[in-house]
Amino acid sequence: MVSQESFVNEGRLTRSRRLSMINIGSLDEKIVLFMEGEVRMPREIGFGVVGLGMGKHHCKAIDAAPNAKLIAVCDVDEERLERMTQQYGCKGYRLYAEMLVDPEIQVVNIATPSGMHAEMGIQAADAGKHVIVEKPADIAPQRVDSLIEAGRRNKVKMAGIFQSRFEPLNIRIREAIQQGKMGDLVGVHGHLPWYRAQSYFEGPHGSWKGTWNMDGGGSLMNQGVHTVDLLQWFAGPVSEVSAFFGVFGHDIEAEDHAVAVLRYQCGAMGTLYTTTCCYPGLNQRITLFGTKGTIVKEEGQLKVWKVMEDVDGAIEREMMDLYGEKKGQNASADPMAVGFDGHTQIVMDLVEAIEKDREPTLSVTQAKHAVEIVCAVYQAGRTGQSVRLA
């Protein structure tokens, strides 16, 4: 047995003649075993997190991920900064520019208000850092393009965050669609009847929420963008959008209820609604039906798996056993009730992407279409005209 420090080597891959590492850790614990053998040892990658609201989840995720090390956190809020540096024994920066010149940091996780994402990501890339950026990648597609371009220019990796894509049930649903088990998709419907009290939009960390220039919208761009991404990840790109939106139950600038009709490139049609007005917060519901089957899920729980070719119902039973019951909280009423397993997988994936010099599984390029769809919904709602997406 050796200590973990023995394979950390100033950002270079090291080679050990005697020891290899097997990761058998759960996401909550780093557990590593070492065995005899000649293998390449992965280096530990240094992370810095900016924005310590959702950034707290990033710290947990980095802490849980093998070969990732939280080097520093950054926030202009001294209290949040102090709390996290104490908790993780890491460095703390009040100024982002100072964190960016820390040579121990190779990856910067950006969890500041959404309208700051591209600019902060570009700064990180220009400083030679890889980037993980919270959802949405930014609030306008053109800004996301600038971020992608900065990644290319600086030859750094750029990962987005839509943690739902890493949930096993969602992966199985996508596989079933791609393998043609549902036939041709006909209906692709996503509904998000969530609730946020007015207090969510107030105070030092609330006042940017529900604004056009920092949140890029309201219930759709902030809460709903996960659902939008999941729909297009299942069904493929959206080609046309019609929509309405408005403010009903909150004193905010943007919207707290958006309703849209979407046409997908694959030919399917669907509805989408998002709200933060639906007291006390009900489950997200996704209904998908094709010419050969129907799948319905609510949050992480499978409700219906009826596929014609599954004549004896064996697959349905397997799927219901695995995903038919899910207990615990979700974010329908509590914004911080999201877990961090998905974030941990995104961190682990980026570490591997750096190691193998490949694209992250969820690149910022892939995270862009959700922003395009959301912006098209807003444009359609404002103009009363349907909007075509390229």
Ligand X SMILES: NC(=O)c1ccc[n+]([C@@H]2O[C@H](COP(=O)([O-])OP(=O)(O)OC[C@H]3O[C@@H](n4cnc5c(N)ncnc54)[C@H](O)[C@@H]3O)[C@@H](O)[C@H]2O)c1
Instruction: Determine the size of the site formed for ligand X (CB under 6 A).
Output: 23
User: Residues for the chain: how many in total?
Assistant: 390
Q: Which residue from 21, 49, 52, 173 is in contact with ligand X, where contact means CB under 6 A?
A: 52
d(CA 68, CA 47): 7
The smaller minimum CB distance to ligand X, of residues 371 and 387, is found at 371
What single-letter amino acid sits at 265?
Answer: Q
The smaller minimum CB distance to ligand X, of residues 77 and 240, is found at 77
Contact indicator for 57, 65 with CB cutoff of 8 Å: no
Least distance from C-beta 154 to ligand X, angstroms?
Answer: 21
Nearest residue to ligand X, scored by beta-carbon proximity: 53
Least distance from C-beta 331 to ligand X, angstroms?
Answer: 7
Both ends of the chain: CA-CA distance in Å?
A: 56
Contact indicator for 173, 179 with CB cutoff of 8 Å: no
Core vs surface per residue 207-223: b (16+ CB within 10 A) or e: ebbbbeebbbbbbbbbb
The answer to whether residue 310 forms part of the interface with ligand X (CB under 6 A) is no
Q: Which residue from 205, 285, 303, 326 is in contact with ligand X, where contact means CB under 6 A?
A: 205
The CB-side HSE value for 297 (13 A sphere, CA atoms) comes to 26
Q: At what angle do helices 341-356 and 55-64 cross, to 10 degrees?
A: 60
Contact indicator for 48, 71 with CB cutoff of 8 Å: yes
Contacting range for ligand X; rule: CB under 6 A; set: 23-31, 112-120, 228-236, 242-250: 112-120
Angle at 162 between CA 159 and CA 164, to 5 degrees: 135
Q: Which residue from 80, 130, 157, 165 is in contact with ligand X, where contact means CB under 6 A?
A: 80
> Site map for ligand X, 280-309, x if CB under 6 A?
------------------------------
> Site map for ligand X, 212-251, x if CB under 6 A?
----------x-----------------------------
Per CB under 6 A, which of residues 132..191 are in contact with ligand X? 134-135, 161, 163
Binding site for ligand X (CB under 6 A): 50-54, 74-77, 80, 96, 111-114, 134-135, 161, 163, 205, 222, 335, 338
